[in-house]
Structure 1
Amino acid sequence: MQLFPTIELQNGKPVSLHRGRLDEPLVWNVDPVEKAREFAHAGAEWIHVTDFDAITGGAPQDELLTEIIRAAGVPVQVGGGVRSRERIEALIDLGVGRVVISTAALTNPDLVKEAAKYHPDQIVLAMDVFEGQVMSEGWRTKSAYEPADFLSWFDADPLAAVIITDIDSDISDADASLALVTDLAAQSRHLVIARGLSRSMNELSALKYVPGVHGAVIGRALFDKSVDLEEALALAAEPVGETAEFI
């Protein structure tokens, strides 16, 4: 399993959100560029960055993204406010390894399909789920689509991966969220990266044994030191042993 240590940016600062509330960020008093360098030094092979300024319609933090890419020295996966082909091309021109598309995949699925066609294995679909429905605009708007149906739209497209976030896991039952991710990973034709189930080493251990889950996005747990990245990377790298069959 591959880990994607994450830096979420708002106004140039790393932040974490409570239940997706952009107006109530927890700001971490660290340099995001140094943090990216620290993640890479610990052994991370990818870094995930979300630009919250771009999500809310503000100016993208491209200058800071460029600094992070240069400092990290490992591929960087970037999402946040990606709504057009021009924005996708601009991010790739910056040196972004993978571009993450979320809300625009609901409103304009052809954008994802065309981008994947021209940039195979560089486009990542992100899907947020709450109470069994796909969400848009961050965590603010519930769509009419069920997760499995939404994923099926892109079965034939050469996506790099699909990021699945069960918003319920941020609110209540992590076990139910693990069950949802397990079910969707079994149905997905793409590699699945789980988000929201990496708050402890125990959660990472459970996630590691879910068939079809290729990776995990981990952010806040690294900043509040609930999880040590080097230990988490070592756990993720361990081969999965045989599991007992249930009779």
Structure 2
Amino acid sequence: MQIYPTLQLQDGRCVSLSRGALDNPAIWHVDPVEVARDFAEKARWVHVTDFDAVARGETDNSALIEQIIRTVPGSVQLGGGMRTMDRITRWIDAGAARVVIGQTALVNPDLVKEAALAYPDQIVLALDVYQGKVMSRGWRDTTVFDPLDVLGWFENDALAAIVVTDIDADIEETEASVSLVTRVAEASRTPVIARGTISSLDDISRLKYVPQIAGTVIGRALFSKAIDLQEAVNLAAPEPEETVAPFV
């Protein structure tokens, strides 16, 4: 299972949100580029979300993100404000290994299909789920859609992965999250990346054995030191297969 350590950027700073509230972030006083480099050295991937792009479309974080992409010794999975094909193309051309499309998929599913056709296995669909329904606008609006309904729209498209955020687990720190990601993973032809489910190493141990779960995104727990990234990567790695010594 792949660990995706995440940087969430707002005004050039690393932040974490409480209950998805963009106006009251926890600010981590660290160098985003240095943190991204450390993450990528240990996990091979780093997940970056541009909250300014989520909120406004426009962003002052572009130069910072470009520097992260150029300098990290791994691959960058980038989300935030992916509302047009031009923006998706711009970031793939800049070197992002994958781009993540969230709420735009709900209002313009054809953009996801167009992007997946142009960039097969580089487009990630993000679904934020609360009380069984997909949310939009940064967890602010409840839609009528069950996550499995949205999965069906893209079942024949060449997506790289689907990031499923269990908002219930993220805000309440419950253990019910495994049931949601299990349900989505069982219905999906595309590998699922869980988000909002990890607050301890025990959570990784549990998630590791859910079929079709390809990885998990971890953010706040790394910055708060609740989880050591290297320990998380080691724990998520496949178990070595037993070998039988040949008869002599």
For normalisation by structure 1, the TM-score amounts to 0.95
Q: What is the DSSP-based 3-state SS (H/G/I as helix, E as strand, rest coil) of the residue aligned with 1:18?
A: coil
* Matches of 1:179 and 1:133, distance apart in 2: 14
Alignment correspondent of 1:23: 23
Q: CA deviation at 1:37?
A: 1.1
1:13 matches 2:46: no
Alignment correspondent of 2:78: 78
* Matches of 2:40 and 2:194, distance apart in 1: 20
* Matches of 2:22 and 2:107, distance apart in 1: 21
- Listed as ranges, the matches of 1:1-247 within 5 Å are 1-41=1-41, 43-57=42-56, 59-60=58-59, 61-172=61-172, 174-239=174-239
1:121-154 deviations in Å (ceiling 9; x for gaps) = 0000000001111011111111111111111110
Q: What is the DSSP-based 3-state SS (H/G/I as helix, E as strand, rest coil) of the residue aligned with 2:49?
A: strand
- How has the CA–CA distance of structure 1 residues 156 and 20 changed in structure 2, closer, same or farther, with 3 Å as cutoff? same
Q: What is the DSSP-based 3-state SS (H/G/I as helix, E as strand, rest coil) of the residue aligned with 2:204?
A: helix
| Paired residue total | 241
* Matches of 2:50 and 2:171, distance apart in 1: 23
* Aligned sequence identity (%): 55
Contact 1:2/1:214 (<8 A) preserved: yes
Q: What is the DSSP-based 3-state SS (H/G/I as helix, E as strand, rest coil) of the residue aligned with 1:171?
A: helix
- How has the CA–CA distance of structure 1 residues 231 and 105 changed in structure 2, closer, same or farther, with 3 Å as cutoff? same
* Matches of 2:109 and 2:146, distance apart in 1: 15
Q: What is the DSSP-based 3-state SS (H/G/I as helix, E as strand, rest coil) of the residue aligned with 2:176?
A: helix
Give the aligned residue type for 1:56.
A
Q: CA deviation at 1:40?
A: 2.1
Q: What is the DSSP-based 3-state SS (H/G/I as helix, E as strand, rest coil) of the residue aligned with 1:197?
A: coil
- How has the CA–CA distance of structure 1 residues 219 and 177 changed in structure 2, closer, same or farther, with 3 Å as cutoff? same
Give the aligned residue type for 2:138.
G
* Matches of 1:131 and 1:21, distance apart in 2: 18
Q: Which runs of 5+ in 2 are unaligned?
A: 242-248
Give the aligned residue type for 1:128.
D
Q: CA deviation at 1:58?
A: 5.1
* Matches of 2:40 and 2:123, distance apart in 1: 22
Q: CA deviation at 1:238?
A: 3.3
* Matches of 1:240 and 1:105, distance apart in 2: 39
* Matches of 1:204 and 1:107, distance apart in 2: 33
Contact 1:34/1:71 (<8 A) preserved: no
